[in-house]
């Protein structure tokens, strides 16, 4: 098999993610009603998720029909050659819940893995006018400018972190308990891309997730590494790429201690 030109693949990933983001913004700015369904009680899916994913998948299939695809929404199963080492990972609308409620913390994410290792990734947060991208070994970029400075908080006690905090079932009240390491602050935006973006912009120190999916974090974790930080991602079931993921991405000074908290053995 001929080697893949990752520069061309990154260009495709950028165009695809920008197309998905444009679909989301056009719907938001139109008078057309958003069609909302639920996968679970507090997990939304919209017609925009489906439309954006279909557009992205079509663009990728047109260029690389043999590549495998792992996408959040239904409709992309069994595409490509099962023996291909290349797999495109797609989250058409990361942060569907904030998107549904008119917030700005949502984005379109595209990554490419080769033999399970992420080689490139793109995160487009259109309401913030932010486009992040990376290719392994070349650094990370925000709107064309290299990301060269992350926070250097030395002690986890002083760190600002983000994590995923899910909603509760309708009709029930419950005291929310969030287990987190000692730190200065824990935040939740409902969008992994927006939370990782805070690290890349030098505003936060790290993220820790338990229960997200690979499409939520694959691009951003590589970006943090390429910007000078560290990341670690583990599938709960290595045989199920659609399954739950534990993940840490952070600046270097706090990484090891944050990993000890998340990946307790």
pLDDT tens digits, one per residue of 186-226: 889 999 999 999 999 999 999 999 999 999 999 999 999 99
> Burial of 118 by CB count in 10 Å (0-12 exposed, 13-18 middle, 19+ buried)?
buried
Query: Token pair for residue 197?
Result: 């973006």
Residue 46 · residue 3 · CB < 8 Å: no
* pLDDT for residue 38 is more than 90: no
* pLDDT for residue 167 is more than 60: no
Residue 41 is predicted with a pLDDT of: 57
* pLDDT for residue 13 is more than 60: yes
SS3 157: helix
At which residue do the structure tokens 């990946």 appear? 263
Mean pLDDT score, 174-197:
80
Residue 146 is predicted with a pLDDT of: 99
* pLDDT for residue 40 is more than 80: no
The residue ranking higher by pLDDT, 193 or 2, is 193
Mean pLDDT of the chain: 92
Domain architecture of the chain: domains with CATH: 6-146 (3.30.540.10), 156-262 (3.40.190.80)
Provide φ and ψ at 234, rounded to 5°. Answer: -135, 130
- What is the CB neighbour count within 10 angstroms for residue 60? 24
Alpha-helical runs (H) found in 40-111: 47-63, 96-100
**3-state DSSP: the chain helix, strand, coil percent, rounded to 5?**
30, 30, 40
Residue 210 is predicted with a pLDDT of: 92
Distance CA 13, CA 75 (A): 19
* pLDDT for residue 107 is more than 80: yes
At which residue do the structure tokens 């599938």 appear? 235
At which residue do the structure tokens 């001929």 appear? 2
Residue 264 is predicted with a pLDDT of: 81
Mean pLDDT score, 108-130:
98
Distance CA 40, CA 108 (A): 21
End-to-end CA distance of the chain: 39
Residue 227 · residue 200 · CB < 8 Å: yes
Residue 170 is predicted with a pLDDT of: 53
Distance CA 71, CA 87 (A): 10
> Cα 237 to the chain's mean position, in Å?
19
Could you say which DSSP state residue 127 is in? G
Residue 247 · residue 208 · CB < 8 Å: yes
Q: What is the pTM of this model?
A: 0.92
For residue 179, what pLDDT band results from cuts at 50, 70 and 90? low
At which residue do the structure tokens 């912009």 appear? 201
* Residue whose C-alpha is closest to residue 264's, from 248, 241, 243: 248
For residue 174, what pLDDT band results from cuts at 50, 70 and 90? low
CA geometry: angle 11, 12, 16, nearest 5 deg: 120
């Amino acid at each position: 098999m001929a080697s893949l030109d990752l520069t061309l693949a990154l260009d495709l990933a950028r165009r695809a993610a920008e197309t998905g983001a444009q679909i989301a913004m056009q719907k938001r700015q139109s008078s057309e009603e958003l069609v909302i369904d639920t996968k679970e009680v507090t997990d939304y899916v919209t017609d925009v998720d489906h439309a954006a994913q279909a557009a992205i998948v079509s663009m990728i299939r047109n260029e690389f029909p043999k590549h495998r695809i792992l996408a959040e929404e239904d409709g992309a199963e069994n595409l490509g050659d099962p023996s291909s080492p290349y797999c495109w990972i797609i989250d058409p609308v990361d942060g569907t819940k904030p998107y549904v409620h008119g917030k700005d913390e949502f984005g379109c994410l595209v990554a490419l893995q080769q033999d399970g290792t992420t080689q490139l990734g793109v995160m487009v947060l259109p309401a913030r006018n932010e486009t992040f991208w990376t290719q392994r070994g070349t650094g990370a970029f925000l709107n064309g400018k290299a990301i060269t400075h992350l926070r250097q908080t030395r002690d986890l006690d002083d760190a600002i972190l983000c994590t995923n905090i899910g909603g509760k079932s309708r009709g029930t009240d419950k005291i929310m308990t969030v287990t987190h390491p000692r730190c200065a602050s824990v935040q939740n935006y409902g969008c992994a891309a927006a939370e990782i973006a805070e690290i890349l912009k030098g505003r936060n120190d790290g993220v820790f997730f338990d229960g997200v999916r690979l499409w939520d974090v694959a691009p951003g974790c590589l970006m943090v590494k390429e910007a000078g930080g560290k990341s670690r991602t583990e599938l709960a079931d290595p045989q199920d790429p659609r399954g739950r993921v534990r993940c840490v991405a952070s600046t270097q000074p706090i990484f090891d201690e944050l990993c000890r908290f998340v990946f307790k053995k």
